[in-house]
Amino acid sequence: MLAVRLAPWLAVLLQHVPHAVAACSRESLLAAAEKYVELQASGKLDLTTLSAAATVAYKENNANHDIKTGVLSQGLKVSYNRSTADPVACASYTELVALTPKPYVIATQITHNATDMSVTLIDTIAATTGALRFDAATTLKYFQAEDWSTLPAEKRPSRELLRNTIDAYLDMWTNATAIDAIPFGTPCERVEGSARVSPCTGGAPRGGSKQPNNMRRYVIDEVVGSADVLCQFSAVGAIPDSHEVRIEGGKVRYVHTITLSAPK
Ligand X SMILES: *[C@@H]1O[C@H](CO)[C@@H](O)[C@H](O)[C@H]1NC(C)=O
Residues forming contacts to ligand X in the complex (CB under 6 A) are 37-38, 41, 78, 81, 113, 115-116, 175, 177-178, 180-181
Q: Cβ of residue 238: shortest distance to ligand X, in angstroms?
A: 21
Nearest CB to ligand X, comparing residues 56 and 151: 56
Nearest CB to ligand X, comparing residues 129 and 177: 177
Q: Cβ of residue 120: shortest distance to ligand X, in angstroms?
A: 6
Q: Cβ of residue 81: shortest distance to ligand X, in angstroms?
A: 4
Q: Cβ of residue 174: shortest distance to ligand X, in angstroms?
A: 8
Q: Cβ of residue 261: shortest distance to ligand X, in angstroms?
A: 27
Nearest CB to ligand X, comparing residues 181 and 195: 181
Q: Cβ of residue 1: shortest distance to ligand X, in angstroms?
A: 9
Distances (CA, A) of 76 to 79, 98, 234: 9, 6, 30
Strands 251-259 and 184-192: parallel
Nearest CB to ligand X, comparing residues 5 and 133: 5
Nearest CB to ligand X, comparing residues 233 and 240: 233
Which residue from 87, 98, 73, 69 is spatially nearest to 33, judged by alpha carbons?
87
Nearest CB to ligand X, comparing residues 78 and 204: 78
